Amino acid sequence: MCGIFACHNHCDVQKFKPTALRMAKAVRHRGPDWSGNWSANNTILAHERLSIVGVDTGAQPLLNDDETLALAVNGEIYNHRILRKQLKTPYNFKTHSDCEVIIPLFIEHGIDAPKFLDGMFSFVLFDKKENRVIAARDPIGVISFYQGWDSKSPGTVYFASELKCLHPVCDKIIAFPPGHVYDSKTGQTTRYFEPKWWDPTNVPSQPVDYKLIRETLEKSVRKRLMAEVPYGVLLSGGLDSSLVASIAQRETLRQRDAQKNAESAEADDNSGLVGIDDENDLSTVTTLAQLHSFSIGLPGAPDTEAAIEVAKFLGTKHHAFTFTLEDGLSALSDVIYHLETYDVTTIRASTPMYLLSRKIKAMGVKMVLSGEGSDEIFGGYLYFHAAPNREEFHKETVRRVKNLHLADCLRANKSTSAWGVEARVPFLDKQFLEVCMGVDPKEKMITKDRIEKYILRKAFDTTDEPDVKPYLPEKILWRQKEQFSDGVGYGWIDALKDNAELHVTDEMMKNPKPEWGNDIPDTKEAYWYRLMFDEHFPPTCAGTVERWTPTWSKQTDPSGRAIAIHNAKYENTQ
């Protein structure tokens, strides 16, 4: 991950520059490798860099030859090599950075440039000739991004990777909408990402193609191995992270074999090393001697045991970390500071991930693959058992995917970037989304003979393919869903609830803060998190937060095990 801070149309940029650099410094944890800034006219761009691709030459902001275009980017563009080859006008690239291709794309396509990008990103591009700023965010909002304004300076607009950069200088802040592009020339923010599945009333009727699901996810994982630094996989032991780890391990072994063959060929005939093919949209890959996988949980956590079993089956170098209840409770305030939310589900799940990311960074790993998005696409949460029909099932999956930037994407992005680690999410690949959100939702529905995420499990079930090595042990492939905050150990959620009782009284519950308006916490745990959020952020930031509860359910606790179907289904799958 990287960190961005940008300000456009400021009355005195040079006077504001020290403040801008201080705001950028607030997200230096996202990009500890280098700091850069550039200013012209009434605009300043500041960038905190985490180097993953183009390590030696990718310092930002990036500039074109005559320095009339300046770009600050956070993210990865997986198809950058293909885009470079497709440019109609030659462009003098100054770096090996995957993100630099955005400049010539803007030259050729204007504000349509984001439509061509395959990746996760947020960026601010300044056109000096037109005194114009373009800002955009990836289709699903994997990368965090915010926009702000100051009522004392109504013509000025601000952008940043995190809220903590904006609230000291803005009194109005929004989460920049995923799949949109902003143009200061018109002052408009428009949606560029327009997939077939976007309209929830357009219920698909496409039959499921198991082979296509498998091949598309495999391609998605391969793309995300684009790196020049050590990488690994987050392996909770659940279906989603286990499938990602399995595919990544297969690709790692394939690359290792290809490299050995190439080295052998070079020794024989002095030929060059075989590179990564363009079809996979990759540039360069650094392969560790062994793929490293990581998990975390309380001692004896169900996910940790499953993760160890999966790692042994796949042959990854696994690191099973544990944390104590005290570790987690002590980190809560810091977690909320980095997450910038008070949503109960997000905080519960993010705390172990935050602790794990620190361990990962200490090992020298800078990029990890993660399994977010699958439950939203396939209706994997246990409350989907209660979906009344295919139309409502599909409507809820669309809603959940659209809101990922406020929940699981926010968790994955900020929990890892808090320690300078980048998380990539193969399930949220544009092509994979198009395939899987286009499947008739009746194929996804949970029935008496179909467990949640049945079609994903079936796509990777090789029982009838004797020539294909199994992707996962059968009992992992068909293991019931455990939400991450549950899977790290049931004692975690119980400890959070118990401690909330100590910090929030019944009297406090009856008298919420007036500035909270209608956004009133409905449990003591939610109230406690809101208090900690308020210690870090003013009320202007609360509008960027969404508190989540399941549909078709009256429960106030978002935990998966709070749903009655959990125990019944879990017993049937043992």
- Report, as residue numbers or ranges, the catalytic residues: 2
Structural element, H or E, at residue 231: strand 231-234
**Interatomic CA distance for residues 459 and 38, integer angstroms:** 49
Q: Are 275 and 333 in contact (CB under 8 A)?
A: no
Pairing of the two strands 172-175 and 119-127: unpaired
Q: Are 119 and 75 in contact (CB under 8 A)?
A: yes
**CA-derived radius of gyration, the chain:** 23
Q: Are 133 and 95 in contact (CB under 8 A)?
A: no
Q: Are 112 and 132 in contact (CB under 8 A)?
A: no
- The neighbouring-strand residues paired with 227 are 285
Nearest in space to 3 (alpha carbons), one of 23, 22, 31, 26:
31
**One-letter amino acid of 196:** K
Q: What contacts 136, CB < 8 A, 6 or more positions away? A: 113, 114, 121, 122, 123, 180, 181, 182, 192
Q: How many CA atoms lie within 13 A of 447 on its CB side?
A: 11
**Segment 165-168 long-range contacts (CB within 8 Å, at least 24 positions apart):** 165/3, 165/5, 165/23, 165/24, 165/26, 165/27, 166/23, 167/537, 167/538, 167/540, 167/541, 168/23
Looking at residue 456, the DSSP 8-state letter turns out to be H
- The neighbouring-strand residues paired with 136 are 123, 181
Structure-token pair, residue 172: 């109005």
